[in-house]
Amino acid sequence: MLFVGSGRKGPGPFVLACLSYGLPLIFIIAPLASFLTYSFFHMENGQIVRGFSLANYQRFFTDAIFIPVLWRTCVLCFSVAALATLIGFPVAFLLSTLKGRMRYYLLLMVLVPLLMSYIIKIYSIRSILGGNGFLNRFLLWTGLIEKPLTLFVFNLNAVLLTLTVLLIPFAILPIFLSLERIPRTLIDASSDLGASGLQTFVRIVLPLSLPGVITAATFVFVLAIGDFLTPQMVGGQSGFTFGRIVYSQFGTAFNWPFGAALSAILAVVVIAVIAAGGRFNRQRP
Amino acid sequence: MMRLSWAATVILVAITGLVFVLLYGPLFIPIASSFFAASHGDVQWDAPSLEAYRGLAANRSILDAVTNTLIVGFSATLLSLVTGTALAIHYCGGKSAAREAMQFAVFLPFLMPPIITGLSLLIFFRETGIPRSLATVIIGHTVFIQALAYRTIVVRLQTLGPSMVEASTDLGASAWQTLIHIILPNLQSTLIGAGILSFALSFDETLITLLVTGTANTLPIRLWAMMRLGFAPDINALVAVILGLTILLCIVAVRQFLPANPEHQD
């Protein structure tokens, strides 16, 4: 539109085109390319050997540690996605039944915590779940338990709960948007034809909101699997996830090529999940 | 939408209430704690005090981190609005496979887990010999948030349509005159909205920053470092201050984004 069809030739369009292809090329494609290249290097005596080798990928598939950790991490993130979607759906549904300004204010209230410091939220949740935290003190006070629970302290349960709490808003938003898009006439038609509220919900609302539910679950899964801070902070020794292994290759373990290979594998998992979600949504009319 | 039965309403409200407790509990506790004295890492709920705020005002390392975060936030927001606008104008200039490829590349850092964006940049900076500093953090943030700025601007340009630009060029305006007098004024509210959102994203970006940062820390990185040693009560005061500022920012954003009269859709 701008800079085209005017018949005038100046330096503008050329500069703009250079910028438009140059910037993503330098700052997005080149880094990704160098990262993929690194995954084919390997380490010897603390030095990076620059030569093509599949050693990193071979190590991933043959070493007994990595595949189980990746699998466990995927299960964890699927659980987070399922939990967040299950809890998020009723909230999104309630929001979609509200009228006028109220629904936007509530929606905004769902989103505001996303703007709050991630680190502080994790720290705060950790202190709530901890051995001497609010949850245990509350349960002790009510007399439900006699000594502090250690169920949610520095293990995968803690990671699961923390990630779910952090990511719920990402589940609510897509579900709300899909619910909002359901034409009112369909619901009126359903009740005019004598369907009960429950029947209308199960036969009309639920199927039509499914694309939003799938998008929500995909969102949450991708965000959860890429997070290495939450497991690091609330996971303790037993809450070891794939993201933590990747990150440790760039810190304590200091094996950048292997870390690059592991993140390439992570990228494959993420792409597969996004593709599966997109495919599922496209198959529906 | 549909009318709910009494029982369904009660259940839905109860679940929503629980979710709000989950979302706001972790924010409320540090804020409440900030107004009480602390000793041995435990909050003394019977001793109200503003000690935390005095501590915050005297804590150079936190204030430096806040300054760095603001520098990074404003620079990255400005940069991503400029590049986002340029890329969006180019994308809307016609249809071609190259344009689609460009758009895909721009979206990548937003679609991929941040750890991959961060690692790519880390390796890239090392290979090109760029030392890690606040500048690399700004680049990292820009790459990430420009996807969002770009997307909002493209949507706006597409709804604008080409007629105004065509009219402008037909009347003899140069491309730059059209940009300054036609395109930018029409993008104003979009740019403000995208700017606020970009700044908010940059302000809290942790995962990419952690990988590309040098010695100058932004606030989330400073907090991350402090947290491993245990927490200072000053942080609680900081959370309270940041929450207040965020709410202010939200009010501004609401006025910007919310339809003036949303009652027409129910």
pLDDT higher than threshold 80 for residue B230: no
Number of domains making up chain A: 2
Residues of A with Cβ-Cβ distance to B166 under 8 angstroms: 1, 5
Residue B264: pLDDT band by 50, 70, 90 thresholds? Answer: very low
Query: Residue B17: what pLDDT?
Result: 94
Our measurement of the distance from residue B231's CA atom to the centroid of its chain's CA atoms, rounded to an integer in Å, reads 25
Give tens-digit pLDDT for B121-169: 999 998 899 898 899 999 999 999 999 999 999 999 888 878 888 888 8
Q: Considering the domain boundaries, does residue B168 fall inside one?
A: yes
Say what percent of chain B tops pLDDT 70.
90
Work out the burial of residue A29: count CB atoms within 10 Å of its CB; fewer than 13 is exposed, 13-18 middle, 19 or more buried.
middle
Residues of A with Cβ-Cβ distance to B255 under 8 angstroms: none
Mutate which of B2, B145, B252 to test chain A, going by most A C-beta atoms within 10 A? Answer: B2
Same-domain check for residues A97 and A70 = yes
Partnered with residue A226 across adjacent β-strands are none
What is the average per-residue pLDDT within B181-187? 87
Whether B174 and A112 lie within 8 Å, measured CB to CB? no
Same-domain check for residues A76 and A17 = no
Same-domain check for residues A5 and A124 = no
Report the alpha-carbon distance of residue B54 to residue B31 in Å, rounded. 15
Report the alpha-carbon distance of residue A95 to residue A110 in Å, rounded. 10
Of B2, B174, B178, the CB nearest to A197: B2
Q: Bigger pLDDT: B49 or B142?
A: B142
- Give the DSSP letter of residue B44: E
- Domain CATH number, residue B127: 1.10.3720.10
Tokens representing A26 are: 């330098």
Interface predicted TM-score of the whole assembly (ipTM), two decimals: 0.83
Q: Bigger pLDDT: B34 or A273?
A: A273
Q: Considering the domain boundaries, does residue B7 fall inside one?
A: no
Residues of A with Cβ-Cβ distance to B179 under 8 angstroms: 2
Distance from CA of B115 to the nearest CA of A (A): 6
Residues of B with Cβ-Cβ distance to A245 under 8 angstroms: none
Residue in the structure block whose two tokens are 């000594």: A147
Residues of A with Cβ-Cβ distance to B102 under 8 angstroms: 20-21, 24
Query: Residue B105: what pLDDT?
Result: 93
Q: Considering the domain boundaries, does residue B59 fall inside one?
A: no
Q: Which residues of chain A have pLDDT under 70?
A: 1-10, 284-285
Whether B231 and A116 lie within 8 Å, measured CB to CB? no
Q: Considering the domain boundaries, does residue B152 fall inside one?
A: yes
Q: Considering the domain boundaries, does residue B193 fall inside one?
A: yes
Number of domains making up chain B: 1
Our measurement of the distance from residue A159's CA atom to the centroid of its chain's CA atoms, rounded to an integer in Å, reads 13
Q: Considering the domain boundaries, does residue A46 fall inside one?
A: no
Which secondary structure element, helix H or strand E, spans residue B128, and what is its range?
helix B114-128
Q: Considering the domain boundaries, does residue A80 fall inside one?
A: yes
Q: Considering the domain boundaries, does residue B16 fall inside one?
A: no
Strand duo B36-39 + A42-44: pairing: unpaired
Report the alpha-carbon distance of residue A118 to residue B224 in Å, rounded. 10
The answer to whether B55 and B261 have CB atoms below 8 angstroms apart is: no
pLDDT higher than threshold 90 for residue B74: yes
Residue B260: pLDDT band by 50, 70, 90 thresholds? Answer: low
Whether B26 and A124 lie within 8 Å, measured CB to CB? yes
Picking from A3-12, B12-21, B174-183, which range would have the lowest pLDDT averaged per residue?
A3-12
Report the alpha-carbon distance of residue A54 to residue A159 in Å, rounded. 33
Q: Bigger pLDDT: B57 or B1?
A: B57
- Domain CATH number, residue A109: 1.10.3720.10
Q: Considering the domain boundaries, does residue A45 fall inside one?
A: no
Query: Residue A6: what pLDDT?
Result: 44
Distance from CA of A143 to the nearest CA of B (A): 21
Domain boundaries, position B106: 69-218
Q: Considering the domain boundaries, does residue A251 fall inside one?
A: yes
Same-domain check for residues A245 and A108 = yes
Looking at chain B, how many residues does it have? 266
**Residue A9: strand, helix, or coil:** coil
pLDDT higher than threshold 90 for residue B32: no
Report the alpha-carbon distance of residue A273 to residue A262 in Å, rounded. 17
Report the alpha-carbon distance of residue B20 to residue A151 in Å, rounded. 23
Domain boundaries, position A7: 1-38
Of B13, B111, B263, the CB nearest to A94: B13
Q: Considering the domain boundaries, does residue B256 fall inside one?
A: no
pLDDT higher than threshold 50 for residue B262: no
Q: Considering the domain boundaries, does residue B191 fall inside one?
A: yes
Same-domain check for residues A175 and A234 = yes
Residue B224: pLDDT band by 50, 70, 90 thresholds? Answer: confident
What is the average per-residue pLDDT within B7-22? 91
Q: Considering the domain boundaries, does residue A86 fall inside one?
A: yes
